[in-house]
A and B are shown apart, each in its own frame.
Chain A
Amino acid sequence: SSELTQDPAVSVALGQTVRITCLGDSLRSYYVSWYQQKPGQAPILVIYGKSNRPSGIPDRFSGSTSGNTASLTITGAQAEDEADYYCNSRDSTGDHLIFGGGTKLTVL
């Protein structure tokens, strides 16, 4: 399969925990990376691999993978976490990169 599937929208109460998921057959073979994008800005990397955070990304962001499903978890969501989140990986051939359709996170 050459697709990664994300829920279009997810909401979370301030300070609560939210999980954003990404489904795809290629995730059985390749790790996913996660990007946060705020309006009018370029995406930034928040998680890659098993659960690696680039410097500057708060430790409330974590990642996990089980089978064909990858998850981005925000533990104690903050108002500034409201954004679009995209997953990315290689397709099943390994030759091309693909993105999920994105999840709009609303912090209530």
Chain B
Amino acid sequence: QVQLQESGPGLVKPSETLSLTCTVSGGSVNSDDYYWSWIRQPPGKGLEWIGYISYSGNTKYSPSLQNRVTISIDTSRKQFSLSLTSVTAADTAVYYCARDVEYYESGIYSDYFDPWGQGTLVTVPS
């Protein structure tokens, strides 16, 4: 079964760039039905979608983060990466990678996230 694993620094200084990588194992990243996503969760708060990338490199980002976010993919290594620039303490969160599965049901295209990585805490000190 497909598994995802995040990796990267747990501490990033203010104004610097947060960089994380997600490694996919047990399956292929090359499918038109999948988008490879990043989601974050500040301590004690809810989930926030950051953005996704397709295997062909098409991206979509959250409007609130799009000026600072870049998601890239390396299909040969089965990895996709997140870059978030000019971080502040507000970017402190657990960062998850997840597979976004697009499906078609009763005339509607919709999505779900499955599986998720275990998450990695990134702290930006104030």
Contact = CB atoms under 8 A, between A and B. Distances in A.
Question: Do A and B bind?
Answer: yes
Interface of A: 2, 29-33, 35, 42-45, 48-50, 52, 54, 86, 88-90, 95-102
B82 to A, nearest CB: 15
Interface of B: 37, 39, 46-49, 52, 60-63, 96, 100, 103, 105-106, 108-114, 116-119
Nearest to B47: A99
A49 B48 CA distance: 20
B113 A31 contact: no
Given A31-B105, A31-B108, A98 B114 contact: no
Contacts of A99: 39, 46-49
Contacts of B60: 95-96
B49 A49 contact: no
Contacts of A43: 47, 96, 113, 116
